[in-house]
Amino acid sequence: MTLRFATIQSPRHELSLRLQDAFERIEKETDGRVEFEVHYGSESGFQAKQYVSALEYGMLDSALIPTSASALEYPWLGVYGLPFLSPDADAREPMLAATKPMLEEFSGEHHIVPLAYPLHPDKWLVIYLKNGVKSVDDFSGKLVRTYDPNTNAIVTALGAVPTSLQKSEIYMGLQRGTIDGAITGITALKEMKFNEVVDNVYQLDLMFLPHILGVSEQAWQRLDAKDQEIVRAVFAEWDKAYMADLSNPDASGDPYAYANEHGVKIIVPDEAAKQVFSKIHEDAVAEFVAQDDMSKKAYDAIDAVRASASN
C-alpha cells in the first residue's frame, strides 16, 4: 500500500531527511507492503493549513502537520508560536509534553491517527534581511514575510508590514526586492540558500514549533494489524531518537555556523528591542487566552512548565 504523504518542507530540510530514514525502514520491515510517496512543498496540492481537513476527509493519506499553519484554522494551536514563550531550549520538550493530551484529542476529533510530535529542528526564529538594522526603529515600513498570527504580531509590533508569501517564494521575493525580509527558522539559510540573497539575520526568539505526524483514519484502516504495529513502533523509535538529538548540543551543533561560514551577519537585539519583545509577549498572551477556552487551557498547561523552569 502506498501512503501519499505531504510536507511543506523541501527535500533538503532536516526533518525531510530524517523522515526518509523512517519511511525506508517501514518499507523494509513490512516487506514492501507499506511505502510512502512524499509530496514536498506545494506538490500535494494542499496548503499546510489544509492538511488537517485533507486528512480528515481522506484527501491525503498522511502528513507532517505544522501547528503554526494549522493555527490559522484552529486558533488554539497558536499557543506554540506565542512570541517569546520558551524560557530556554530545554523547556521545549516539557512544554510539548504538557499539551500532548490536547494534541491527541484534537487528532482523534479530526479522524487522524497521530504517530509522533516532532519539534521543528530550528533553534532560533529569525528575520532574514536584505539590509541591516541598528535599532527597532529601522524596521519601520519594511515588508516582512510572515506565516501565522503570531509572526504577524511580531512584525507589526516592530513597525514593519506583514506580507504573505509561500516559503518556496521567499528566495525570489528577497532577490527581486518585493520584500525586505522574511521570518522563518535559521536552518532555512542553508536549506533555501538565503545567504545568496541576504547579508543579515536578526535573531528573534527560541523556536517552539511542534508538528503532528499523522495518518488519516481511512488510510490507517487499510493497513492490517501487523503493519499498523510496525508503523507505530518505527515512528515511536524514530521520534525518540530525533528528539534526543535536538536536545544534544553536540548532535545539533551551532545554529549559526553556516551563517558565519558564509559571511552573513548575525544581529543580536539590543536592550531596547528586548523591551519591545517583552511587550509583544504580554499583549499576545492576553489576546490569545481571551479568544476561547481551549486556548486558555493550552496556555495554562505550558505556563505551568515555564514557571517551573524559571524557579
pLDDT confidence of residue 252 = 57
Looking at the domain 124-207+255-310, which fold is it? D-Maltodextrin-Binding Protein; domain 2 (3.40.190)
- Whether 12 has a pLDDT exceeding 90, the answer reads no
Looking at this protein, which amino acid is placed at residue 200?
N
pLDDT at 248 over 90: no
| Domain 2-120+209-252 shares a fold with domain 124-207+255-310 | yes
Tell me the pLDDT of the chain averaged across its residues.
93
pLDDT the model gives residue 292: 95
Which amino acid does the sequence have at 250? Answer: D
Exposed/middle/buried for residue 244 (C-beta within 10 Å: 0-12, 13-18, 19+): exposed
Q: Which of these, 291, 243, 255, 287, lies nearest to 82 by C-alpha position?
A: 287
- Cα gap 168→270, rounded to integer Å: 31
Q: Is the pLDDT of residue 251 over 70?
A: no
| Residue 44 and residue 55 in contact, taking contact as beta carbons nearer than 8 Å | no
Task: Please count the CA atoms within 13 angstroms of the CA of 174 that sit on its side-chain side.
Answer: 27
CA distances to 127, 166, 203, 209, 262 from 109, rounded to whole Å, are 35, 28, 37, 21, 46
Q: Are strands 181-185 and 124-129 parallel, antiparallel or unpaired?
A: antiparallel
pLDDT of residue 183: 95
First to last CA, the chain: 50
Q: What is the pLDDT of residue 232?
A: 98
What are 73-90's pLDDT values in tens digits? 999 999 998 999 988 888
In this predicted model, what pLDDT tens digit does every residue of 34-85 receive, in sequence order? 999 999 998 999 999 999 999 999 999 999 999 989 998 999 999 998 999 9
Q: Report phi then psi at 92, rounded to 5.
A: -65, -45
Alpha-carbon distance of 209 to 28, in angstroms, equals 30
Q: How far apart are CA 108 and CA 6, in angstroms?
A: 19
pLDDT (tens digit per residue) in 139-161 = 999 999 998 888 998 999 999 99
pLDDT of residue 239: 96
What are 178-219's pLDDT values in tens digits? 999 999 989 889 889 999 999 999 999 888 999 999 999 999
* Structural domain boundaries in the chain: 2-120+209-252, 124-207+255-310
pLDDT of residue 246: 84
Q: Would you state the CATH architecture of domain 2-120+209-252?
A: 3-Layer(aba) Sandwich (3.40)
Yes or no: say if 122 and 255 are a contact pair by the CB < 8 Å rule.
Answer: yes
Run of H or E residues at 265: strand 265-267
Q: Whose CA is closest to 241, among 8, 86, 21? A: 21
138 to each of 53, 80, 141, 200, how far by Cα in Å? 40, 28, 8, 13
Residues 79 and 299: beta-carbon distance below 8 Å: yes
Percent share of the chain, pLDDT over 90: 77
**DSSP alpha helix (H) spans, 128-167:** 149-157
Identify the residue whose cell numbers are 530550528.
Answer: 122
